[in-house]
Every structure is written in C-alpha cells, then in structure tokens.
Amino acid sequence: MLYRVIDRADVPSLVAAFMERYEVVAPVRRGEKYVFEAVSDFDEIALDYPTTIASPKKYFLPATETLFAFDARENAVTDYVDEVRPRVLFGVHACDINGIMNLNSVFNDPRYPDPYYRAHEDATLIVGVSCTPTDTCFCHLMDSEEARPGYDLFLNAIGDRYLVSIGSVTAANILESACDVREATDADRAAFRAATRARQRAFNPAIPDVQEIPMLMDAFHEDAFWDELGGRCLSCNACASVCPTCYCFDIRDTLDPGAETGRRERVWDACTSPQFAMVAGGHNFRATPAARVRHRMYHKLNGFLATHDRSLCVGCGRCAAACKVDISPIAVLEFFERKGADDGE
Amino acid sequence: MASNARGGAVAVHPYHQGGPALTGAELMAANPYRPWPARITSITELTATEKLFEFRFIDDAIRDAFCHAPGQFVELSLFGVGEAPISISSSPTKKGFIELCVRRAGRFTERLHRMQCGETVGIRGPFGRGFPLEAMRGHDVLLVAGGLGIAPLRSLINNIHDCRSEFGKVTIIYGSRNPQEVMFRHQFEMWRHRKDFDLYLTVDHADDTWDGEEGLVTKPFEHLEIDAANTFGALCGPPVMYRFVVQEMRKKGIPYDRIYMSFERHMKCGVGKCGHCQVGHQYCCIDGPVFNYWEAKNIQGSM
Ligand code: SF4
Ligand code: SF4
C-alpha cells in the first residue's frame, strides 16, 4: 500500500477539499456519546472518538430503502430509481471498515449482486482513522484490528502527524491537492510501529482470547448456557441495529394514501425478532428467545466464517454496550473460557 | 470504497429492453428484486384450500428465457400486499408457463385466491438449488410427499414422467391427512393404472371414498422393496415428517448423500441476503431449498 505523511494541522484542509465535492459524514459528539452524522465544518468532527453508538452501515444499507414504486391497480412496477449521494465517511475505525468488507461480500456476491447496495458503495469514499480500544473492544480477537483493503485513505495517528495509507486514485488526488504530503522518514516509521504496539497493549485483558471459536460454537450448540443467555433476551433488536454486520432485512409494500400506488421497501430486520423465522401457516423455526440469540451468535462467530472465510463479528463491542441484559459475543467468549477452566472434569 | 464519485439518481435496472436474448442468469444479474409481469392463465381448484395457478410472463423474451429445475421457487408479487416464495409445481419440460400450487393460509394467499384468470401479478426467479435431476438419471427414485409437499415434488415427478425411459424404477409415496386433502387426485388415479410408477397414496384418516392405504406416510415402507445402492430418495412435507421418513430411507440403506429433501423457510429476498431463510450457516434460498441428508446433518438446526 502506498503511504505518505501529513501533519495533523493539514486535516481541516483535507476535509474542506472533500466537502467541495461530497457530503462528509463523520463522528460527532452527542452528550457523552458519539454518532456518525453529516457535518458542514471540520470543527464538528471528533476524530479521536472511542466508538460511535451505531455503525456507519446505514450509508450502504439504509434503514428503509425503496426498491421500486408500483401501481397497485395495474399490479405493475412503475419506477426503479434509487437516490444515492456522493459521500465521504470520514474517520471510520478499522473494525467498521472490516464490517463493510463483510457486507460487501454478501451484497456483491457475483451470483446475485445487489444493485442498490452497489450504487451506495460506488458513491462512497472511506477515510479510516486509527483508534484506541475501549473496554468493550475485541476486534483483535476477531482478526479485525487492522483494515487491509476497504478504504480510500487510512489515517494512522503518530503524534502530531498521520501516516496515511492511500487506497485509491480519487483519494490520492484530493490528498495531494489539499495537504502538504511528504515521504515518511525512519522516525515516522518507528512512531507508527510504537503506536501500533501501544494499541495492542490497550485491549481489555478481561475479554478472553478463545481459540477455535467456530468449533466450540458447534460443540456447545446444545449446552444449557444458551437457555440461560438467550432466555433473558428482550427481543428489542438493539444489538442488530447498532451492529456493523447485521444486514438482515424485511421486504414490505407501503401504499400511498388512496392505496392506488405505493413502494416496495426493504427495512432493517433482525433474527432476534420473534417472527423472523416464521413461515406461512404459522410454524416458527426459532420460536424461543434462546434459539434466536443462539442463531445470532452462531452466524456471527461460526456460520459466516464457514461460507465467507471471515468472522462476521468484527469485535466492535457495540452490542455489548447496547444490550440491557448483557448479551453479546463477549458473554459467549467468557462462557467458553469458563468451560476451558473446568479442566474437562 | 468508491473508484469515482457519481451521484444523484441512479437507475438500477440498466439493461433488458431491446437487449440480446436473456438467459435466466442474466435476468437475475441486473436487478434480482425486479418482478416481471405475468398473467394468470388458468386456475384449478385442487381442494377446499388449495388452488393450482398457471402463469405466463407477458414479455416474450422473459417467457422464453425462464427456465427452472424441479425444486426451485419463485417470488410472487401482489403489489400493495407483498411477496411470497412459492415452489414451482410444473415440470421444466413444459415451456411457456409455470404452475404454482397455493394454499390459502394468510393475507397474501387469501388475496391470490380471489383473483381471476387474466389478472396480472409479478414474478421473479427462479431461485435456489433444486433436485439433482442429472445425477438421478439412470437410477431408481423414491419420492415421498406429505401434504403440500407434493407441490415441489410434482415438478420432479412430471419431469421424470416426461423422460421416463431415462430413469429406473420410480416409486411415489404421497400422504395426506384425509381423502379430501389429496391433491392432483385425477392425475394419480390415472397413473395408478399404468406401469410408469409404483404409487402409494396414504391418508391418516380414511373414509368410504378411500381405497388407498390408511396410516402415516411411513407405512408403505413396511413392504417396500428397493435396490438401495441404486436409489435416490426425494422428500418434501411438513417439518415433523422429515426425521421419520429419513429414518425409513436410511433403514432401507439409501446413502446419506442420496436422500434429498426440500426445506420450507420464508425466503424473502431469494438471493442470499435478507436472512429470513437461514438455517445454521446456510441460506435455503441459494444453498437450498433442496439439501441432501449429509448436508442437512451438517447444518445446525436444520431438522
Ligand atoms: S456482534 Fe456485537 S461486537 Fe460483533 S460486530 Fe456486531 S455489534 Fe460489534
Ligand atoms: S440480545 Fe440484547 S440487544 Fe439484542 S434483542 Fe436481545 S435484549 Fe435486545
């Protein structure tokens, strides 16, 4: 990957250059928390943020998206136009970039590419930024602490400078025009290495590093643990809505007033909702909260890996912060850790 | 990651009108969520709650391009009501139309049941992996259907019927709850007097109109003689049926990976995204709905 160095003081002009051609979405402080939002000035951006409440997935997969418009009297489609906005996601952490990569592999599956997702993706630039782990971060255990492909620029903080990895021509041109870009020195490289090591040391040691998670998900599939964990689920779907890699949706028709025309929409849905696996005639293949929570965890920690060779959970810790009853992959890792500590007796 | 910025309004169905002849794959490629207009050309009442609908795509190119495998399904649209996944009941050997067998069981199907010939619906598909017809050729086939499970199996049965000489012995077991619920009864009555198929119709509860067997769909297995090493099993029915029928097939000695079954799930998108039809690590809509028993055993929560 091509990389260069810029000064921290250059970042406002980089953002200003993006704003000339794009909507810029960035982390913004809201009370004690942070959210991704469109900004109009560099000063609104909180680039050293810990983590945002929700992931930036909505810019690829909006919470409600119109697939087409129809005429219900004629039973016919009338329009397929999707509005997309050229946009820069500025200040995305590595876990979220890996989350977007996971969504890419679902929605850009060459057998069934999703044109709506693709339209958003094509119109979006991603500028990543390095981070310091919070107490609930475990991206390093999910092989997601580093963004390899998947960004246009990645800003690695090294003191009063950034070591910038450059992933696309479009971004390279804007970077060059807006900033005083220079070659990295040995001191820059050493500072980058030191920053990476400091981040590695900063992860919460209480979150256990468990080997063979996929195998364990199968091996303990029938364990009573799932009733205990899932039994307390409130089916609120908070976990799925904040998660960067929960991409399930429902498809529904919404009629305009008068019921003559309408839109077919896809709206976020979650496998934690009670009716999610119900079929016509009323049979529910995952009728209990325990079965649903187990399925969500299975897909995050095993199922996706089996078909895409990557863990779907990227360890961002958002669901751990969002869930009122303490259900998250962290609880699953802790369970596996306890099992291991039992010595098999 | 964007290679360049473009924005504003983007048309998400860039192709088709006036384009070259389309294959099924090309139809899907452009916008898999796009339903194509189709007309109801025939409606047959099968039982008090089930009707067989025949549809024809209005666009010639789509009608010619549409091809499916037995076991695949389509998404049927009634605009303003929604969409439903329905397995195809007609054989791929019959071109130009598709048949869907629909039970009245909710808002969507109530509405469909009230529709008349000549009315228009939307159809997209076909989706999913069907029965392995090519692998089955040259072998014996044992088909077991329970209730509405006859709908997808009928596509396979009719396909085999249309190239009967390419298959060995073909046995059909079809179980219903009572004689009134037996679908395609005329067709089966007709076949009973022919040598093409060994046919066992069973009902859980018989009455005086019934001259078939009484008992569960597993009952005919008691006196069934099959050449297990040369037989493919295919089954479809309500969820409770699978375990028992598979057990019988295994007892007869049919190999794990030659017992094929179709899973019923609510496929909403049909293209491996929306998640509703996930079983374990698989999506019924693209990895299935037809799985063999070996695959099913390796899918958490499948049976
Ligand atoms: S499952 Fe939880 S920790 Fe994992 S990516 Fe989703 S929100 Fe983050
Ligand atoms: S796991 Fe927690 S956040 Fe998710 S639906 Fe259940 S209660 Fe809500």
Can you give the CATH number for the domain in which B140 is found?
A: 3.40.50.80
In a domain, B162, yes or no: yes
At position A57, the amino acid (one-letter code) is K
Looking at residues B5-30, what average pLDDT do you find?
38
**Closest Cβ opposite residue B273 in set A151, A247, A259:** A247
In order, the DSSP letters of B111-150 are: HHHT--TT-EEEEEEEESB---HHHHTTSEEEEEEEGGGH
Among B107, B127, B147, identify where a domain stops.
Answer: B127
Query: Cα–chain-centroid distance for residue A295?
Result: 19
Q: Which atom of ligand 2 is nearest to the CA of A322?
A: 3
User: Same structural domain for residues A328 and A236?
Assistant: yes
User: Same structural domain for residues A232 and A140?
Assistant: no
The tokens 């469909």 sit on which residue?
Answer: B112
User: Same structural domain for residues B98 and B137?
Assistant: no
What is the CB-side half-sphere exposure of residue A278 using CA atoms within 13 A? 13
CA of A138 to the centre of ligand 1 (A): 9
**Mean predicted lDDT score pLDDT of chain A:** 92
User: Same structural domain for residues B114 and B138?
Assistant: no
**Which ligand does the CA of A93 lie closest to?**
1
Taking only the tens place, the pLDDT of each residue in B108-165 is: 999 999 999 999 999 998 898 999 999 999 999 999 999 989 999 999 999 999 999 9
| Of A175, A153, A155, residue with least CA distance to A166 | A153
The tokens 């047959």 sit on which residue?
Answer: B44
Residue A115's pLDDT band, with cuts at 50, 70 and 90, is confident
Rounded CA separation B70/B129 (Å): 9
Give residue B207's domain range. 133-262
- Whether the predicted pLDDT of A321 surpasses 80: yes
Q: Name the closest residue on chain A to residue B13, using Cα atoms.
A: A80
| Of B175, B182, B179, residue with least CA distance to B146 | B175
A154 close to B (CB below 8 A): no
Taking only the tens place, the pLDDT of each residue in B48-97 is: 999 999 999 998 888 888 888 999 999 999 999 999 999 999 999 998 99
User: Same structural domain for residues A123 and A219?
Assistant: no
Lowest mean pLDDT among A22-36, A241-255, A301-315, B16-30: B16-30
CA of A315 to the centre of ligand 1 (A): 5
User: Same structural domain for residues B117 and B138?
Assistant: no
- Which residue has the CA at smallest separation from atom 7 of ligand 1? A243
Rounded CA separation A312/A290 (Å): 20
User: Same structural domain for residues A6 and A131?
Assistant: yes
ipTM for the predicted complex comes to 0.89
Taking only the tens place, the pLDDT of each residue in A118-134 is: 888 988 999 999 999 99
User: Same structural domain for residues A31 and A142?
Assistant: yes
Please judge whether B274 and A124 are an interchain contact, meaning their C-beta atoms are less than 8 angstroms apart. no
Give residue A168's domain range. 2-61+74-202
Q: Are strands A87-92 and A124-129 parallel, antiparallel or unpaired?
A: parallel
User: Same structural domain for residues B142 and B119?
Assistant: no
User: Same structural domain for residues A50 and A188?
Assistant: yes
User: Same structural domain for residues B165 and B243?
Assistant: yes
- Whether the predicted pLDDT of A20 surpasses 50: yes
Percent helix, strand and coil across chain A, each to the nearest 5: 40, 25, 40
- Which residue has the CA at smallest separation from atom 8 of ligand 2? A236
User: Same structural domain for residues A240 and A220?
Assistant: yes
Quote the pLDDT of residue B61.
Answer: 82
Q: Give the dihedral sign, CA B21/B23/B28/B33.
A: positive
User: Same structural domain for residues B253 and B137?
Assistant: yes
Residues of A in contact with B81 (CB under 8 A): 253
What is the DSSP-derived secondary structure letter of residue A256? P
Residue B6's pLDDT band, with cuts at 50, 70 and 90, is very low
The tokens 């929409």 sit on which residue?
Answer: A265
Residues of A in contact with B9 (CB under 8 A): 81-83
- Whether the predicted pLDDT of A140 surpasses 50: yes
**Closest Cβ opposite residue A67 in set B33, B82, B271:** B33
Looking at residues A200-228, what average pLDDT do you find?
92
Rounded CA separation B123/B134 (Å): 26
User: Same structural domain for residues B203 and B229?
Assistant: yes
In a domain, B140, yes or no: yes
Quote the pLDDT of residue A279.
Answer: 87
Q: Which CATH number fits the domain that encloses residue B79?
A: 2.40.30.10
Looking at residues A36-49, what average pLDDT do you find?
95
Among A202, A222, A241, identify where a domain stops.
Answer: A202
Residue B98 sits at φ, ψ, to 5 deg, of -130, 150
In a domain, B289, yes or no: no
- Whether the predicted pLDDT of B19 surpasses 50: no
User: Same structural domain for residues A197 and A219?
Assistant: no
User: Same structural domain for residues B235 and B146?
Assistant: yes
Please judge whether B272 and A112 are an interchain contact, meaning their C-beta atoms are less than 8 angstroms apart. yes
Please judge whether B300 and A221 are an interchain contact, meaning their C-beta atoms are less than 8 angstroms apart. yes
Rounded CA separation A326/A302 (Å): 20
Q: Name the closest residue on chain A to residue B282, using Cα atoms.
A: A303
User: Same structural domain for residues A152 and A243?
Assistant: no
**Over A96-134, what HEC string results?**
HHHHHHHHHHHHCCCCCCCHHHHHHHHCEEEEEECCCCC
User: Same structural domain for residues B217 and B107?
Assistant: no
Residues of B in contact with A84 (CB under 8 A): 7-8, 10
Q: Which atom of ligand 1 is nearest to the CA of A99?
A: 5
User: Same structural domain for residues A192 and A312?
Assistant: no
In a domain, A86, yes or no: yes
CA of A145 to the centre of ligand 1 (A): 13
Please judge whether B122 and A77 are an interchain contact, meaning their C-beta atoms are less than 8 angstroms apart. yes
Split into its structural domains, chain A has a count of 2
User: Same structural domain for residues A261 and A220?
Assistant: yes
At position B40, the amino acid (one-letter code) is I
In a domain, A276, yes or no: yes
Rounded CA separation A323/A317 (Å): 10
Residues of B in contact with A277 (CB under 8 A): 265-266, 276, 278
In a domain, A95, yes or no: yes
A218 close to B (CB below 8 A): yes
- B53 contact partners, CB below 8 Å, separation of at least 6: B40, B42, B43, B99, B100, B101, B102, B112
B63 to chain A, closest Cα gap in Å: 17
Instruction: Yes or no: say if A95 and A129 are a contact pair by the CB < 8 Å rule.
Output: no
Taking only the tens place, the pLDDT of each residue in A250-294 is: 999 999 999 899 999 999 999 999 999 888 878 888 989 999 999
Please judge whether A76 and B120 are an interchain contact, meaning their C-beta atoms are less than 8 angstroms apart. yes
Inter-CA distances, A313 with A95, A104, A148, B135, B281, Å: 9, 14, 17, 38, 14
User: Same structural domain for residues B139 and B48?
Assistant: no
Among A159, A181, A202, identify where a domain stops.
Answer: A202
What is the number of CB-based contacts under 8 A between chain A and chain B? 195
Taking only the tens place, the pLDDT of each residue in A147-192 is: 989 999 999 999 999 999 999 999 999 999 999 999 999 999 999 9
Residue of A134, A328, A330, A332 best suited for mutating to test ligand 1, as the one with most atoms within 8 Å of CB: A328
Split into its structural domains, chain B has a count of 2
Q: Name the closest residue on chain B to residue A251, using Cα atoms.
A: B268
In a domain, A69, yes or no: no
**Closest Cβ opposite residue B300 in set A124, A248, A298:** A298
Among B127, B159, B176, identify where a domain stops.
Answer: B127
In a domain, B143, yes or no: yes
User: How deeply is B210 buried, as exposed, middle or buried, from its count of CB atoms within 10 A (0-12, 13-18, 19+)?
Assistant: middle
Please judge whether A248 and B276 are an interchain contact, meaning their C-beta atoms are less than 8 angstroms apart. yes
User: Same structural domain for residues A10 and A154?
Assistant: yes
Taking only the tens place, the pLDDT of each residue in B210-262 is: 888 888 888 888 888 889 999 999 999 988 889 899 999 999 999 999 999 99
In a domain, A230, yes or no: yes
Residues of A in contact with B1 (CB under 8 A): 121, 124-126, 149-152, 167-168
CA of A200 to the centre of ligand 1 (A): 19
Rounded CA separation A12/A42 (Å): 6
Q: Helix, strand, or coil here: B252?
A: helix
B294 to chain A, closest Cα gap in Å: 16
Quote the pLDDT of residue B2.
Answer: 42
Residue A172 sits at φ, ψ, to 5 deg, of -60, -45
What is the CB-side half-sphere exposure of residue A330 using CA atoms within 13 A? 23
B38-70 burial, b at 16+ Cβ within 10 Å, e below that, comes to: bbbeebeebbeebbbbbbbbeeebbbebbebbb
The tokens 């070659």 sit on which residue?
Answer: A183
- Which residue has the CA at smallest separation from atom 6 of ligand 2? A233
User: Same structural domain for residues B180 and B210?
Assistant: yes
Using a 6 Å CB cutoff, which residues line ligand 1? A 242-245, 300, 313-319, 328-329
In a domain, B141, yes or no: yes
Residues of B in contact with A106 (CB under 8 A): 272-273
User: Same structural domain for residues B61 and B92?
Assistant: yes
B272: left (phi over 0), alpha (psi -120 to 50) or beta: left
**Which ligand does the CA of A292 lie closest to?**
2
